[in-house]
Amino acid sequence: MKLIDLHCDTILSCINSNGEVKLEKNNLCIDIKKLKKADSLAQFFAMYVDLKKYSAPMDRCLDMIDCFYNEIEENSADIAFAGSTKELKKNKSEGKISAFLTVEEGGVLEGKLRNLRILYKLGVRLITLTWNYPNCIGYPNFRWEHKDKGLTAFGEEVVAEMNRLGMIIDVSHLSDQGFYDVAELSGKPFIASHSNARAVTNHWRNLTDDMLRKLAEKGGVAGLNLEPEFLGEVGSVEAMTRHVIHMINAAGIEAVAIGTDFDGCSLLTAIKDAGDMHKLWDALSKAGLSGRDMDKIMHKNVERVIRDVMG
């Protein structure tokens, strides 16, 4: 069964290893062999920048983008960049996995729309507006303290410009009020790339049922996150299944996707890496999901968002 995974942090390990960790083969959750075992159609690779570690976050982001393209080039027989539906289809026809370039931390924009346009021209097609710190765009959901704070004036400009460019707006990590601001302002579908159901696990990083419904109304998706803290149990497929079923019941099958957070989440148990994703497929099948529904969750819903936003 084909898979599109909306979020992983593998490139962070690659760039921090001084060349020792490679995408081709490693001991992480994601490498080329594991992606093939997962029958990956596309992997979204996040360029995560910690604002407290880097005084020039855009520079760090550019270094990570350079690392991303180097890894893709070194594995060009198996994986290729994609930034549109056309490129996704082309890569599939050539038997290659598609690699989508994303940024996890809108603070890298440093308050300049120019930087957003530069990132787009470099191939970035999704930006997670915040991580765990307030930034020029808005506020994070971190220990509830910023829950009721919305987008900044610059954040509103970013939403409009991302719509114009054809970039996916990602509200995972964003405050509750920021979520609703995006829902009101965005004229295109937006997503929560790696967020679960708050009604199942009451964690600030998860989405309320109302948020899930808003995502669905806008044509977006929420990607199931495998982080045990957000699942509410230590990585069990039963907990994953509970979140998926709840999200389906709350917002409909078209609003659910996969955003593993591989190589960015805590120690996993039931699903140790991308090669184990079949365990989730088996659990969802046993829970009564049809093959058609599974296809929507695993890749078709995200393909729709790519088409609607990127073209």
- Note the pTM of the prediction, 2 decimals: 0.97
- Is the predicted pLDDT of residue 234 greater than 80, yes or no? no
Please give the average per-residue pLDDT across 39-52, as a whole number. 98
Q: Identify the pLDDT of residue 204.
A: 94
Report the mean per-residue pLDDT for the chain: 97
Top-confidence residue, 282 or 233: 282
Q: Identify the pLDDT of residue 265.
A: 87
Q: Identify the pLDDT of residue 268.
A: 72
CB 167 within 8 A of CB 120: yes
CB 298 within 8 A of CB 80: no
Q: How far is residue 102's CA from residue 263's CA, in Å, rounded to a whole number?
A: 15
- Is the predicted pLDDT of residue 144 greater than 90, yes or no? no
- In what helix (H) or strand (E) does residue 236 lie, and over which residues does it extend? none
pLDDT digits (tens, 9 = 90+) for 193-222: 999 999 999 999 999 999 999 999 999 999
Q: How far is residue 238's CA from residue 270's CA, in Å, rounded to a whole number?
A: 10
pLDDT digits (tens, 9 = 90+) for 245-275: 999 999 999 999 999 999 998 767 789 999 9
Q: Percentage of the chain with pLDDT > 90?
A: 95
Q: How far is residue 213's CA from residue 251's CA, in Å, rounded to a whole number?
A: 5
DSSP state of 108: G
- In what helix (H) or strand (E) does residue 178 lie, and over which residues does it extend? helix 176-185
DSSP-assigned beta bridge partners for residue 124: 101
Q: Identify the pLDDT of residue 145.
A: 87
Pairing of strands 168-170, 124-128: parallel
**Superfamily of segment(s) 3-309:** Metal-dependent hydrolases (3.20.20.140)
The domain limits of the chain are 3-309
Residues in the chain: 311
CB 256 within 8 A of CB 300: no
Q: How far is residue 64's CA from residue 87's CA, in Å, rounded to a whole number?
A: 22
Please give the average per-residue pLDDT across 84-98, as a whole number. 99
Of 129, 123, 119, 141, nearest in space to 185 by CA: 129
pLDDT digits (tens, 9 = 90+) for 165-197: 999 999 999 999 999 999 999 999 999 999 999
**By mean pLDDT, which of 136-145, 155-164, 194-203 is the weakest?**
136-145
Q: How far is residue 310's CA from residue 82's CA, in Å, rounded to a whole number?
A: 10
- pLDDT band for 66, please (50, 70, 90 cuts): very high
63: tokens are 């270094």
First CA to last CA distance, the chain: 24
pLDDT digits (tens, 9 = 90+) for 94-108: 999 999 999 999 999
Q: How far is residue 4's CA from residue 307's CA, in Å, rounded to a whole number?
A: 14
Q: Using N-to-C axis directions, what is the helix angle for 209-217 and 237-251, rounded to 10°?
A: 60
Tokens 């948020």 belong to which residue?
211
Q: How far is residue 307's CA from residue 73's CA, in Å, rounded to a whole number?
A: 25
Q: How far is residue 126's CA from residue 119's CA, in Å, rounded to a whole number?
A: 10
